Structure 1
Amino acid sequence: MQNYGPQFEGANHQMQQPFFQYSQCNGRRKALCIGINYFGQSAELKGCINDAHNVKNFICRQYGYKEDDIVMLTDDASNPRQIPTKDNILAAMQWLVRDAQPNDSLFFHYSGHGGQTKDLDGDEADGYDEVIYPVDFDTNGHIVDDIMHEIMVRPLPPGCRLTAIFDYSTEGKIKEPNLAAEAGQGLLSAVSSYARGDMGGVFSSAMGIFKTATGNTKKAEQYARATRTSPADVISWSGCKDSQTSADTFEAGQSTGAMSFAFISALTQNPQQSYQMLLQSIRQILRDKYSQKPQLSSSHPIDTNIMFIM
Structure 2
Amino acid sequence: MAKTAEHKAKAVSIHIGLNSVDPKHYAGWSGDLLACEFDANDMAAIAHDAGMKSTLLLTTKATRANVLAAVRAASKKLQAGDLLFVTYSGHGGQIDDVSGEEEDKKDETWCLYDGELIDDEVFLELSRIAAGVRVLVLSDSCHSGTVIRARVPEGSTAGRSKMMPPSVAMRTYREHQAFYDKLQRDVAEAAGKASVPTPDSALARVAVSKRLTAIANECKAAVILISGCQDNQTSLDGDHNGAFTEQLLRVWNHGAFKGNYAKFHAAIKARMPRTQVPNLFTLGPVGKLLTERPFTP
Same fold (TM over 0.5): yes
Equivalent of 1:300 in 268, 272, 284? 284
Q: Report the AA paired with residue 294 of structure 1.
A: P
Cα separation, 1, equivalents of 2:292 and 2:78:
23
Instruction: Tell me which residue corresponds to 1:90.
Output: 68
Q: Compared with structure 1, are the counterparts of its residues 121 and 27 closer, same or farther at alpha carbon in structure 2 (3 Å cutoff)?
A: farther
Cα separation, 2, equivalents of 1:43 and 1:267:
29
Cα separation, 1, equivalents of 2:88 and 2:243:
13
Equivalent of 1:156 in 103, 124, 129? 129
Q: Report the AA paired with residue 307 of structure 1.
A: E
Cα separation, 1, equivalents of 2:190 and 2:36:
41
Instruction: Tell me which residue corresponds to 2:251.
Output: 266
Q: Aligned-pair distance for 1:126?
A: 3.6
Q: Aligned-pair distance for 1:222?
A: 5.2
Instruction: Tell me which residue corresponds to 2:175.
Output: none
Instruction: Tell me which residue corresponds to 2:36.
Output: 48
Deviations 1:82-129 (A, max 9, x none): x11222222222122122100111110111111222333455444322
Alignment of 1:1-310 (within 5 A): 23-24=1-2, 27-38=9-20, 42-61=30-49, 63-65=50-52, 69-75=53-59, 83-121=61-99, 124-137=102-115, 142-151=116-125, 153-171=126-144, 203-204=192-193, 220-221=208-209, 223-229=211-217, 230-250=219-239, 255-268=240-253, 270-287=256-273, 291-300=275-284, 302-303=286-287, 306-310=291-295
Q: Aligned-pair distance for 1:300?
A: 3.1
Structure 1 residue runs without a partner (length 5+): 1-22, 77-82, 175-198, 208-216
Cα separation, 2, equivalents of 1:118 and 1:108:
26
Structure 2 residue runs without a partner (length 5+): 24-28, 148-187, 197-205
Cα separation, 1, equivalents of 2:101 and 2:223:
18
Q: Compared with structure 1, are the counterparts of its residues 226 and 204 closer, same or farther at alpha carbon in structure 2 (3 Å cutoff)?
A: closer
Deviations 1:176-221 (A, max 9, x none): xxxxxxxxxxxxxxxxxxxxxxx979724559xxxxxxxxx97x55
Secondary structure, aligned partner of 1:293? coil
Superposed CA RMSD in Å reads 3.1
Secondary structure, aligned partner of 2:69? helix
Q: Aligned-pair distance for 1:159?
A: 1.2
Q: Aligned-pair distance for 1:256?
A: 1.1
Q: Aligned-pair distance for 1:42?
A: 4.0
Cα separation, 2, equivalents of 1:281 and 1:205:
36
The alignment's TM-score, normalised by the length of structure 2, stands at 0.69
Kept in 2, the 8 Å contact 1:115–1:170? The answer is yes
Secondary structure, aligned partner of 1:133? strand
